[in-house]
Amino acid sequence: MNRMEMHFDARIENEAFARTVAASFIAPLNPTMDELIEVKTIISEAVANAIIHGYNGQSEGQVYLRLETLDHELHIEVEDYGVGIQDINQACQPLYTTRQDLERSGMGMTIMDSLSDQMQIESIPEQGTKLVISKRFKHGSDSQA
């Protein structure tokens, strides 16, 4: 097992940083190019949602990223202490967005769910949201065991 945790300001430019860190962290698992792209997309969507929706684009908050590898599986947690989600079922509907003003597509939750093996959303209005995601690697090798 290998773990890492970091937190960073809720600034949209940190989304690329989080994506790069995640890609580097899973490199020892020898992911396929498709698996690498899928993980980077999951991280990108989760972090962008925390920044844009969780903190309404205000950079005062912190986004927490936790990654853990075990065997051929990656566990991802992305957490914010922002506004939370009022209705999780509604937020998971394709094309639903709380930020039409930013021309958001409303597909982030759907994309993350389709690219992961398991996705859970924990949210309390006015307290924050935590995404817990699992992704299995089919062809990689775990040199960290």
Q: How far is CA 112 from CA 33, 37, 78, in A?
A: 17, 12, 12
Task: Specify whether the CB–CB gap between 82 and 55 falls below 8 A.
Answer: yes
Asked about 49 being catalytic, the answer comes back as: yes
103, 104, 122, 136: the active-site residue: 104
Asked about 45 being catalytic, the answer comes back as: yes
137: which 2 tokens?
């690697």
Rounded (5°) CA angle 72-76-79: 175
15, 49, 68, 126: the active-site residue: 49
15, 35, 38, 45: the active-site residue: 45
Residues marked active site are found at 45, 49, 104
